[in-house]
């Protein structure tokens, strides 16, 4: 019998934790339900299938960037669905902070490692990126050329 690597054990723990979170009511499953929950502020972590379509991926990445929500894309749709006790699932949202913390820890072990916030599968935006990209939740100081008031300023 082959020995299971540490990454495989972390992957199995993450999938098992997903099932536990689903049974505890801490998961919103399905693309439409997750996208609707963004505006309500319920989603703390988004799990996107690694084999999701380009349009779904872009939509979720943009929403996650806007609402400053972390996103993990380490499982395929069959693994994600099986862990949640459903059919193939492209997207799931975690609503419980405890499950979110543990899932980020486990996925970081097999999907991100030491450079957790710099991998393609797991991307956590830093505060400075929000400012550079004009995020409305991070106000920027007004920009004025040489301190001259603009004609609209009165």
The answer to the question of residue 145 being in a domain is no
The answer to the question of residue 18 being in a domain is no
Per-residue pLDDT tens digits for 81-97: 999 999 999 999 999 99
The answer to the question of residue 154 being in a domain is no
Per-residue pLDDT tens digits for 47-81: 999 999 999 999 999 999 999 999 999 899 999 99
Look up the CATH number of the domain holding residue 92. 3.30.1330.30
**Residue 12 pairs with which residues in a beta bridge?**
none
The answer to the question of residue 143 being in a domain is no
The answer to the question of residue 53 being in a domain is yes
Closest alpha carbon to 52 in 23, 26, 81? 81
How many independent structural domains does the chain possess? 1
The answer to the question of residue 9 being in a domain is no
**Residue 27 pairs with which residues in a beta bridge?**
94
Domain of residue 116: give its range: 26-137
């Amino acid at each position: 019998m082959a020995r299971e690597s540490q990454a495989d054990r972390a992957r199995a723990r993450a999938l098992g934790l997903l099932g536990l979170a689903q049974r505890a009511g801490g998961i919103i499953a399905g693309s439409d339900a997750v996208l609707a929950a963004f505006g309500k502020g319920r989603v703390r972590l988004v799990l996107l299938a690694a084999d999701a379509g380009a349009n779904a991926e872009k939509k979720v990445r943009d929403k996650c960037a806007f609402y400053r929500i972390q996103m993990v894309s380490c499982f395929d749709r069959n693994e994600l669905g099986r862990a949640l006790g459903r059919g193939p699932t492209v997207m799931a949202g975690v609503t419980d902070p405890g499950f979110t913390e543990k899932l980020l820890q486990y996925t970081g072990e097999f999907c991100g490692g030491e450079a957790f916030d710099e991998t393609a599968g797991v991307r956590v935006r830093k505060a400075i990126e929000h400012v550079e990209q004009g995020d409305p939740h991070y106000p920027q100081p007004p920009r004025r050329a040489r301190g001259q008031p603009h004609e609209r300023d009165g």
